[in-house]
Amino acid sequence: MKAGQPPVSANSRSLVLPLIISVLFLLALGLVLVWLNLERTKLSYQLNGMQKNLRVATEYNTKETIERDQLLSPAELTRKAVDMGLHTARPGQLRRVEGPDDAPVRQ
């Protein structure tokens, strides 16, 4: 032992390793918390983008539904029929053709 240095006890030597392990554990825990916060922020941005896309798609769907209803309204169909020189079908002029959706279900 050198002169002027306090004696190092065995008890203080046994505390060095747990202290180093504790500091490393706290450092790792801090890094994990930072990483989790970054992931949470990234997911938040992705969620906001998906919500915006959903709002836009819902608006388009609403507009398309309104336009379809306007184009298929009886008044609009009548106007287009008159423009094309068509008239209302007389009784017996209409026939129904069954498609694959109208066929009876066989079990």
DSSP string covering 58-79:
HHHHHHHHHHHHHHTSHHHHHH
Q: Is residue 54 a part of any domain in this protein?
A: yes
Residue 4 within any structural domain of the chain: no
76 within 8 A of 70, measured Cβ to Cβ: yes
Specify the number of domains making up the chain: 1
Give the predicted TM-score (pTM) of the model: 0.53
Give the pLDDT mean for 90-96.
78
Residue 70's contacts (CB-CB under 8 Å, 6 or more residues apart) are 76
Q: How far is it, in rounded angstroms, from Cα 10 to Cα 17?
A: 12
Q: What is the mean pLDDT of residues 16-42?
A: 96
| 22-31, 57-66, 72-81: segment of lowest average pLDDT | 72-81
Asked whether residue 70 is assigned to any structural domain, the reply reads yes
Classify residue 32: in a domain, yes or no. Answer: yes
User: How high is the pLDDT of residue 100?
Assistant: 73
* pLDDT of amino acid 40: 98
Q: Are the C-beta atoms of residues 7 and 1 closer than 8 Å to each other?
A: yes
9 domain residue, yes or no: no
Higher pLDDT, 97 or 85: 85
